[in-house]
Amino acid sequence: MADRVCPWWMGYLLASPFRRWMQNPEDVVGPFMEPGMTVLEPGPGMGFFTLPMAELVGPSGRVVAVDVQPKMLDGLRRRAAKADLLPRLDARLAQSGSLGVGDLNGKVDFVLACAVVHEMPSSEVFFREAAAALKTGGTLLLVEPAGHVDPVRFAHQINVARQAGLEQGERTVVRRCRAAVFTKKAA
Ligand SMILES: C[S@@+](CC[C@H](N)C(=O)[O-])C[C@H]1O[C@@H](n2cnc3c(N)ncnc32)[C@H](O)[C@@H]1O
């Protein structure tokens, strides 16, 4: 069963600069990113990872950030505008049952799903949509908070990702979290 969606006001705490002391966003996503990439981020909150990723993709790249809460997206857009990163951001409102990103199929280089899959009604639908959006050879980084997602539940998410055509790759470590890296296999 999915956990409750995190309340919108938590977006401010999650995007707080203090979090950087524990989790440096550039260290977490930097190894998977290059300028010019198209990135998909489900559940961006107010952009703790989104803004650093918009910096990393540079002016020729873009970050498509999809959330179910309009107030998260408002906060995200405000913060992106302040950082002069709005032109690289495509912030979209999703329905809870689908990301609604069919227009991105085969176009995405990197998907970051941090602290969101446990809030989704169906990890099956999510991994299917994410795998469809990825280019062959594209990467998905799954990160879940260890306090919310126990090892059994995380192993289930990994199985679901594999069934969607994603191959588990290199090991990665994110503090206080469970993390796994996947690559989209050729069909
Ligand atoms: C715990 S927050 C994590 C925010 C951000 N990824 C971070 O690490 O700071 C979870 C976010 O996922 C969003 N969310 C929950 N269910 C979702 C769904 N089905 N589709 C897209 N976003 C969702 C919530 O609104 C919230 O912004």
How far is ligand 1, taken at its centre, from the CA of residue 45, in Å? 5
58 domain residue, yes or no: yes
Helices (H), the chain: 10-14, 25-29, 50-57, 70-82, 123-133, 151-163
- Residue 9: inside a domain: no
Q: What percent of the chain has pLDDT over 90?
A: 94
**Beta strand segments in the chain, E:** 38-42, 62-67, 89-93, 108-114, 134-145, 166-168, 177-184
**Which residue lies with its CA nearest to atom 14 of ligand 1?**
43
Reply yes or no on whether the pLDDT at 124 is more than 80: yes
Per-residue pLDDT at 122: 96
Model pLDDT for residues 45-84, shown as the tens digit of each residue = 999 999 999 999 999 999 999 999 999 999 999 999 999 9
pLDDT-derived band at 187 (thresholds 50, 70, 90) equals confident
Q: Which residues pair with 98 in a beta bridge?
A: 95
* Any ligand 1 atom below 6 A from CB of 68: yes
In degrees and rounded to multiples of 5, residue 95 shows phi and psi of -80, 155
Ligand 1 centre to CA of 72 (Å) is 9
Q: Is the CB of 42 under 6 A from ligand 1?
A: yes
- Please provide the average confidence, as pLDDT, over all residues in the chain: 96
> Ligand 1 pocket, 66 CB below 6 A?
yes
> How many A from CA of 137 to the centre of ligand 1?
25
14 domain-assigned: no
Could you tell me if residue 169 is inside a domain? yes
4 occurs within a structural domain:
no
**Distance in Å, CA 6 to ligand 1 centroid:** 7
Q: Is residue 117 part of a domain?
A: yes
User: Domain limits at 90?
Assistant: 33-184
Residue nearest to atom 21 of ligand 1 (CA): 67
Report how far residue 64's alpha carbon sits from residue 79's, in angstroms, rounded to the nearest whole number.
15
Asked if the structure places residue 124 within a domain, the reply is: yes
Q: Could you tell me the CATH number of the domain that includes residue 123?
A: 3.40.50.150
Specify if 5 maps to a domain. no
For the chain, what percent of residues have pLDDT higher than 70?
A: 100
- Report if pTM > 0.95: yes
87 CB-near residues (< 8 Å, 6+ apart): 59
- Report whether pLDDT(186) > 90: no
The confidence band for 159, taking pLDDT boundaries of 50, 70 and 90, is very high
Q: Domain count for the chain, please give it.
A: 1
Residue nearest to atom 12 of ligand 1 (CA): 43
